[in-house]
């Protein structure tokens, strides 16, 4: 080789011996098994490397013989290369004042610490990978893989999907809750209406039970007002005075009215068709007014809650051709307007 033919035997004999030994081992392997290319190839490459190495050393040493300053340059070349390694390891400056060994120790120490940190990172990565896999399994996602970054992205994607599902379900729940609220409101309204109707029916029943047939009847008119038809409240002919005989019936009327404290009241006076229509109208007004005044005084009713009106013979409820019919038409109606 070039190293043997040149000055390597003189200036780099030890390195050259390494090349020769590697070459000899290569030849022996080929002689033993010429098909074992892997082992013989390794030794051949080593022999070639050591030969080039010896040649490089020989050139450097030869230059030292010709120039005394070359020794310093050679030392500085190696220091510069070691400094490059130190810079890559974030060491500001290597110290060579005690030779290359302390500088090499500094490099070795930094490399050892980095190797330890690398081992710690690997441990952390393994632990993180295991945790991420566990999270993915709990989330029902694919836990396979070794790269924690990929696993973390998968966790983020899975959580994002689950969050979207949660928000969608929350929206559905909100919609259903709104429907339920509306149904509850409708149910409450129906229940309140039913309760009010039941209470109304109970009041109507009590009112009907309060009056006996000879005193009058309780009914609803077309406007759904409660009507107390007081056929038993009879006046003397042509008179409108409230007599003592009227008091028990009017007290019953008072009790019925008290069951409807929020209602408006209208007292209507009616006559039969006998006699002068104008006189009948005036008489019916007087009788309605007399009943209204009695109720206002005994029940302390305000003027805006109760009114009185006379219709004369305009609104008969029976034929005026018979005595019985005329008796029915002569009446006081009290409207309880809810």
SS3 readout for the chain: CHHHHCCHHHHCHHHHHHHHHHHHHHHHHHHHCCCCHHHHHHHHHHHHHHHHHHHHHHHHHHHHHHCCCHHHHHHHHHHHHHHHHHHHCCCCCCCCCCCHHHHHHHHHHHHHHHHHHHHHHHHHHHHHHHHHHHHHHHCCCCCCCCCHHHHHHHHHHHHHHHHHHHHHHHHHHHHHHHHHHHHHHHHHHHHHHHHHHHHHHHHHHHHHHHCCCCCCEEEECCCCCEEEEECCCCCCCCCCCCCHHHHHHHHHHHHHHHCCCCCEEEEEEECCCCCCHHHHHHHHHHHHHHHHHHHHHHHCCCCCCEEEEEEECCCCCCCCCCHHHHHHHCEEEEEEEC
| Residue 175, domain member (yes or no) | no
pLDDT tens readout for residues 50-77: 777 767 776 767 666 666 666 666 666 7
pLDDT tens readout for residues 213-231: 999 999 999 999 999 999 8
The least confident of 70-79, 141-150, 210-219, 297-306 is: 70-79
Host H or E run for residue 252? helix 247-258
Cα–Cα dist 59/76, whole Å: 17
Nearest CA-CA partner of 233 in 288, 185, 275 = 288
Single out the residue in 74, 92, 113 at which a domain terminates: 113
pLDDT tens readout for residues 21-30: 878 887 887 8
**328: domain CATH number?**
3.30.1330.60
Query: Residue 95 pLDDT more than 80?
Result: no
Q: In this structure, are 327 and 215 located in the same domain?
A: yes
Confidence at residue 45, expressed as pLDDT on a 0 to 100 scale: 84
Cα–Cα dist 219/225, whole Å: 8
Residue 173 token pair: 């729940």
| Residue 21, domain member (yes or no) | yes
Domain extent at residue 295:
211-337
Q: In this structure, are 216 and 108 located in the same domain?
A: no
Single out the residue in 70, 89, 113 at which a domain terminates: 113
Confidence at residue 64, expressed as pLDDT on a 0 to 100 scale: 65
Q: What percent of the chain has pLDDT over 90?
A: 41
Instruction: Give the confidence band of 326 by pLDDT, cuts at 50, 70, 90.
Output: very high
Residue, of 6 and 295, whose pLDDT is higher? 295
Q: In this structure, are 217 and 330 located in the same domain?
A: yes
| Residue 138, domain member (yes or no) | no
| Residue 118, domain member (yes or no) | no
Confidence at residue 202, expressed as pLDDT on a 0 to 100 scale: 95
Residue, of 124 and 130, whose pLDDT is higher? 130
Cα–Cα dist 178/172, whole Å: 10
Instruction: Give the confidence band of 331 by pLDDT, cuts at 50, 70, 90.
Output: very high
Cα–Cα dist 300/221, whole Å: 26
Q: How is 14-40 classified by DSSP, letter by letter?
A: HHHHHHHHHHHHHHHHHHH-TT-HHHH
Cα–Cα dist 334/218, whole Å: 10
Nearest CA-CA partner of 334 in 287, 274, 300 = 287
Instruction: Give the confidence band of 256 by pLDDT, cuts at 50, 70, 90.
Output: very high
Tell me the mean pLDDT in the region 158-166: 86
| Residue 191, domain member (yes or no) | no
| Residue 311, domain member (yes or no) | yes
Q: In this structure, are 215 and 108 located in the same domain?
A: no
Confidence at residue 46, expressed as pLDDT on a 0 to 100 scale: 78
Confidence at residue 118, expressed as pLDDT on a 0 to 100 scale: 67
Q: In this structure, are 329 and 222 located in the same domain?
A: yes
Query: Residue 4 pLDDT more than 50?
Result: no
| Residue 161, domain member (yes or no) | no
Instruction: Give the confidence band of 115 by pLDDT, cuts at 50, 70, 90.
Output: confident
| Residue 264, domain member (yes or no) | yes
- Output the average pLDDT for the chain: 85
Residue, of 210 and 125, whose pLDDT is higher? 210
Single out the residue in 71, 96, 113 at which a domain terminates: 113
Confidence at residue 255, expressed as pLDDT on a 0 to 100 scale: 96
Cα–Cα dist 168/156, whole Å: 18
How many domains does the structure of the chain reveal? 2
Confidence at residue 69, expressed as pLDDT on a 0 to 100 scale: 63
Query: Residue 2 pLDDT more than 60?
Result: no
């Amino acid at each position: 080789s070039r190293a043997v033919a040149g000055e390597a035997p003189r200036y780099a004999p030890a390195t050259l011996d390494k090349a020769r030994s590697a070459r000899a081992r290569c030849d022996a392997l080929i002689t033993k098994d010429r098909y074992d290319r892997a082992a013989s190839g390794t030794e051949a490459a080593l022999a070639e490397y050591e030969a080039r190495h010896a040649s490089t050393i020989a050139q450097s040493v030869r230059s030292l013989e010709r120039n005394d300053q070359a020794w310093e340059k050679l030392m500085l070349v190696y220091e510069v290369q070691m400094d490059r390694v130190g810079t890559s390891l974030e060491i500001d400056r290597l110290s060579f004042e005690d030779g290359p060994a302390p500088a090499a120790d500094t490099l070795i120490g930094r490399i050892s610490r980095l190797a330890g940190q690398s081992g710690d990172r690997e441990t952390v990565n393994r632990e993180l990978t295991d945790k991420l896999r566990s999270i993915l399994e709990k989330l029902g996602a694919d836990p396979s893989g070794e790269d924690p970054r990929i696993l973390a992205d998968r966790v983020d994607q899975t959580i994002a999907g689950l969050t979207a599902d949660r928000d969608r379900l929350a929206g559905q729940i909100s919609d259903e809750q709104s429907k339920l609220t509306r149904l509850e409101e409708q149910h409450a309204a129906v229940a309140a209406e039913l309760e009010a109707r039941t209470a109304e029916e109970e009041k109507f029943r009590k009112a009907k039970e309060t009056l006996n047939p000879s005193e009058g009847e309780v009914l609803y008119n077309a406007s759904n007002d409660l009507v107390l038809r007081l056929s038993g409240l009879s006046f003397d002919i042509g008179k409108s005075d409230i007599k003592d005989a009227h008091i028990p019936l009017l007290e019953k009327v008072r009790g019925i009215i008290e069951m409807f404290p929020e209602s408006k009241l209208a007292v209507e006076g009616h006559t039969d068709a006998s006699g002068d229509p104008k006189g009948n109208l005036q008489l019916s007004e007087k009788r309605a007014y007399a009943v209204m005044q009695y109720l206002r005084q005994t029940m302390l009713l305000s003027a805006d809650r109760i009114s009185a009106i006379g219709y004369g013979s305009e609104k008969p409820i029976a034929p005026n051709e018979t005595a019985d019919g005329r008796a029915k038409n002569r009446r006081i109606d009290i409207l309880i307007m809810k």
